[in-house]
Amino acid sequence: MTSRADLLEVLEEARQLGALGPGPVEDHVAHAQGFIDALVGVHGRVLDLGSGGGIPGFVIAAARPDLHLTLIDAQARRVSFLDDAIARLFLDGQVDARHGRAETLARLDDLHGEYNAVTARSFGPPAVVAECAVGFLVRGGRLLVSEPPEATARWPTAPLAILGFELGERLAGIQVLTATGEGDPRYPRRDGMPTKRPLF
């Protein structure tokens, strides 16, 4: 079982390595609680986009041992850190880390359409997050995105429908979207395209 002290120690190391944003680690942990709240009712597999130093993934894993989490990141150095942290936090079997770009990983047979929820914290603009997440989700799965406090009207319904998302409620700074399973199968596009030519 993961102790809070061990979790805070790992996250502090992540902060010192530049894999976690500035500010006290406790603040990052408190912010991750919003994801835990938004995951009420979700079971099975959860994927975290751009996991970096393990927020919110490790916090979710500690709070919800019933969930299986996959942490993905495009930087090999960060994935190496995550692999080491998974062992140190005794999360083997519950959490795994994968190296690669989301656009590519979302097309792999063992990841495509396999997740009941996808979380995203500081991964990118809404259009990039939505396009990179959609390939991982089962029909009815949730995309949970951390939103800045001042954010308004960042999720237009028409392009979201093209991707196969319905806009849901916003819970304590977490925007919820639901995968309808009716999006265009061409998405996500090849590596880099969601960022270079965002849909909205």
- How many of the other CB atoms lie within 10 Å of CB of 73? 25
User: What is the tens place of the pLDDT at every residue in 126-151?
Assistant: 999 999 999 999 999 999 999 988 77
**Contact in structure between 31 and 147 (CB atoms under 8 Å):** no
Rg (CA), the chain: 16
Among 162, 168, 100, CA closest to 127? 162
Q: Tell the CATH topology of 4-196.
A: Rossmann fold (3.40.50)
User: What is the tens place of the pLDDT at every residue in 70-125?
Assistant: 999 999 999 999 999 999 999 999 999 999 999 999 999 999 999 999 999 999 99
Q: Which helix (H) or strand (E) holds 34?
A: helix 25-38
Domain map (residue ranges) of the chain: 4-196
The pLDDT score that the predictor gives to residue 2 is 86
**Strand, coil or helix: what is 96?**
strand
Spatial separation of the C-alpha atoms in residues 185 and 183, rounded to whole Å: 6
The predicted model scores a pTM of 0.96
Among 7, 49, 48, CA closest to 29? 7
Asked whether the predicted pLDDT for residue 172 surpasses 90, the reply is no
**Contact in structure between 108 and 136 (CB atoms under 8 Å):** no
The pLDDT score that the predictor gives to residue 148 is 87
**Strand, coil or helix: what is 47?**
strand
Spatial separation of the C-alpha atoms in residues 130 and 110, rounded to whole Å: 20
**CB contact burial 45-54 (16+ within 10 A = b; e otherwise):** bbbbbbbbbb
**Strand, coil or helix: what is 166?**
strand
User: What is the tens place of the pLDDT at every residue in 17-41?
Assistant: 999 988 899 999 999 999 999 999 9
